[in-house]
């Protein structure tokens, strides 16, 4: 009996006290949530891809600004023509042009006025760049949500495996104790078989947990850019209980900070700018041009190179473009209305996410109170069972039942705290707050 009591006391100490205080006693090589988030944000391919898209957006802005710059070029050619036309004046004949014509010139063309087409194109590309920036932040937020989910799944599985290992150790020690008692006739085969069944059940549960841990670890390694079989040990980082503002204030804050809503609004603004660009496509444009150089073929000496120049202005006035502009405007206008509906749809989605996250957080907080109360009751039940066992009122199997219930109650407390931490971080993400 003393041996059994020692086993059960050790079980209580290592099963309940250690997990509940693990937050301050973590392994030195374990990973914190912040460290994992930083590694994911700094290495994930989608973010690096957006960085290249940002470079492309800057290039498009530069391309749009070229509308303000002149077009300067040097052109040279040498052309041999035949037959050469001639004209006779009495006994003499004159060529109207030389057979070998050559020229070299510096040409300059500058748009003087284009009714704001260049400015509107620049505004359009600047808005596109803003969308790329918002898209990058949106990817980071979504990655943060994925990391948080997997992180706390791994944490729970780690703690559950620890408890299962300790339960298995206790049950195996108990099996040895029961088998010795059976040899002396103090225990029955039923008690031996019952203990073996419990061991098998715990081992099956541990198998399921190990499989889940393998899957979650693979997913986390994928996010972190590590080989899929890299072992991970996460720190027991639980969020502190926080007082939240009323739902109306949370929703107002989310409308100002959520990147999804910013993205929908930016798409609408982009469509409106595109409408202005298309609207100006058929506007006239005024250009100045100048050209100067040297060429032959000018009188009086057609075979000698002569300096020459040309200066002028040109006007381009579109008359009819086969209704291209008309239908482009109709298409862009439809896009504008569609994007406005996306803004409203995104707003409704944000409302649902905020309310759901807040409700889950409040539910988890209530579960923490209930599970802690149940843990206290389970502890009291075990203490009473221990006294009854000493008095011979209950069997050792019944005492083990109360210890198992105490183990499950301790795990429920941890799960409730993990659920609260997860719900709190999801609420922050739903509000548009950065957690990375």
- At residue 123, the pLDDT reads 95
Residue 279 pLDDT exceeds 70? yes
Task: Say if residues 86 and 95 touch (Cβ distance below 8 Å).
Answer: yes
Query: What token pair was written down for 95?
Result: 């060529």
User: Angle, to 10 degrees, between the axis of helix 189-224 and the axis of helix 396-430?
Assistant: 20
So where are the chain's domains? 2-69+114-283+318-430
- At residue 23, the pLDDT reads 41
- At residue 20, the pLDDT reads 43
Residue 4 pLDDT exceeds 50? no
Secondary-structure class of domain 2-69+114-283+318-430 per CATH: mainly alpha
Q: What is the 3 state secondary structure string of the chain?
A: CHHHHHHHHHHHHHHHHHHHCHHHCCCCCCECHHHHHHHHHHHCHHHHHHHHHHHHHHHHHHHHHHHHCCEEEEEEEEEECCCCCEEEECCEEEECCCCEEEEEEEEEEEEEECCCHHHHHHHHHHHHHHHHHHHHHHHHHHHHHHHHHHHHHHHHHHHHHHHHHHHHHHHHHHHHHHHHHHHCCCCCHHHHHHHHHHHHHHHHHHHHHHHHHHHHHHHHHHHHCCCCCCCCCECCCCCCCCCCCCHHHHHHHHHHHCHHHHHHHHHHHHHHHHHHHHHCCCCCEEEEEEEEEEECCCCCCCCCCEEEEEEEEEEECCCCCCCHHHHHHHHHHHHHHHHHHHHHHHHHHHHHHHHHHHHHHHHHHHHHHHHHHHHHHHHHHHHHHHHHHHCCCCCHHHHHHHHHHHHHHHHHHHHHHHHHHHHHHHHHHHCCCCCC
Alpha-carbon span 194 to 201, nearest angstrom: 11
What would the mean pLDDT of 147-162 be, rounded to a whole number? Answer: 95
Query: Could you give the percent of the chain with pLDDT greater than 90?
Result: 65
Residue 15 pLDDT exceeds 70? no
Q: Render pLDDT for 174-199 as a digit per residue (tens, 0 to 9).
A: 889 888 888 888 778 888 898 899 89
Alpha-carbon span 109 to 290, nearest angstrom: 7
The CA dihedral of 10, 404, 154, 372, to the nearest 10 degrees, is -90
Q: Render pLDDT for 80-122 as a digit per residue (tens, 0 to 9).
A: 988 887 777 777 777 777 888 899 999 999 999 998 999 999 9
Q: Render pLDDT for 335-371 as a digit per residue (tens, 0 to 9).
A: 999 999 999 999 999 999 999 999 999 999 999 999 9
Task: Say if residues 164 and 206 touch (Cβ distance below 8 Å).
Answer: yes
pLDDT category at 297 given cuts 50, 70, 90 is confident
- In terms of Cβ atoms closer than 10 Å to its own Cβ (0-12, 13-18, 19+), residue 151 is buried
CA dist 119 → 107, 257, 270, 273, 293 (Å): 25, 29, 14, 11, 33
Greatest extent of the chain over all pairs of C-alpha atoms, in Å: 150
Q: How many CA atoms lie within 13 A of 412 on its CB side?
A: 18
Q: Render pLDDT for 56-89 as a digit per residue (tens, 0 to 9).
A: 999 999 999 999 999 999 999 999 988 887 777 7
Q: Render pLDDT for 405-416 as a digit per residue (tens, 0 to 9).
A: 888 898 999 999
What would the mean pLDDT of 316-321 be, rounded to a whole number? Answer: 90
Query: Could you give the percent of the chain with pLDDT greater than 70?
Result: 93
Alpha-carbon span 363 to 416, nearest angstrom: 9
Q: What is the end-to-end Cα distance of the chain in Å, rounded?
A: 54
Q: Is the bond into 300 cis (omega within 30 degrees of 0)?
A: yes
Cα three-residue angle 132-138-142, rounded to 5 degrees? 145
Q: Render pLDDT for 24-49 as a digit per residue (tens, 0 to 9).
A: 344 446 899 999 999 999 989 999 99
- At residue 97, the pLDDT reads 79
- At residue 368, the pLDDT reads 94
- At residue 426, the pLDDT reads 94
- At residue 269, the pLDDT reads 95
């Amino acid at each position: 009996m003393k041996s059994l009591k020692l086993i059960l006391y050790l079980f209580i100490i290592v099963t309940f006290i250690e997990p509940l205080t693990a937050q301050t006693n973590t392994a030195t090589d374990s990973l914190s949530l912040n460290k994992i988030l930083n590694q994911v944000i700094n290495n994930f391919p989608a973010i690096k891809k957006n960085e290249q898209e940002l470079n492309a957006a800057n290039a498009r802005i530069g391309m749009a600004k070229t509308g303000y710059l002149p077009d300067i070029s040097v052109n040279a050619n040498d052309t041999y023509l035949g037959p050469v036309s001639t004209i006779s004046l009495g006994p003499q004949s004159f060529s109207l042009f030389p057979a070998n014509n050559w020229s070299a010139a510096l040409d300059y063309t500058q748009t003087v006025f284009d009714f704001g087409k260049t400015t509107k194109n620049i505004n359009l590309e600047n808005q596109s760049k803003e969308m790329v920036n918002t898209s990058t932040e949106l990817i980071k937020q979504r990655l943060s949500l994925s990391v948080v989910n997997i992180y706390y799944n791994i944490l729970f599985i780690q703690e559950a495996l620890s408890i299962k290992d300790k339960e298995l150790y206790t049950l195996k020690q108990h099996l040895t104790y029961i088998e010795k008692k059976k040899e002396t006739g103090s225990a029955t085969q039923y008690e031996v078989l019952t203990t073996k069944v419990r061991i098998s059940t715990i081992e099956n549960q541990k198998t399921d947990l190990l499989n889940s841990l393998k899957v979650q670890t693979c997913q986390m390694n994928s996010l972190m850019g590590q080989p899929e079989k890299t072992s991970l040990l996460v720190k027991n980082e639980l969020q502190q209980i926080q007082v939240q503002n009323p739902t109306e204030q949370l929703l107002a804050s989310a409308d100002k900070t959520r990147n999804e809503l910013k993205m929908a609004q930016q798409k609408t603004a982009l469509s409106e700018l595109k409408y202005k660009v298309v609207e100006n496509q058929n506007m006239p444009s005024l250009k100045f041009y100048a050209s100067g150089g040297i060429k032959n073929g000018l009188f009086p000496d057609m075979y000698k190179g002569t300096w020459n120049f040309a200066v002028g202005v040109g006007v381009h006035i579109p008359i009819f473009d086969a209704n291209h502009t008309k239908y482009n405007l109709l298409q862009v206008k439809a896009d504008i209305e569609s994007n406005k509906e996306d803004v409203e749809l995104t707003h409704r989605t944000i409302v649902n996410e905020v309310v759901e996250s807040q409700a889950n957080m409040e539910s988890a907080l209530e579960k923490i109170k209930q599970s802690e109360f149940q843990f206290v009751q389970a502890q009291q039940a075990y203490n009473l069972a221990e006294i009854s066992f000493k008095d011979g009122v209950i069997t050792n199997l019944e005492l083990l039942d109360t210890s198992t219930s105490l183990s499950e109650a301790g795990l429920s407390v941890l799960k409730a705290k993990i659920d609260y931490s997860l719900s709190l971080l999801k609420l922050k993400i739903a509000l548009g707050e950065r957690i990375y």
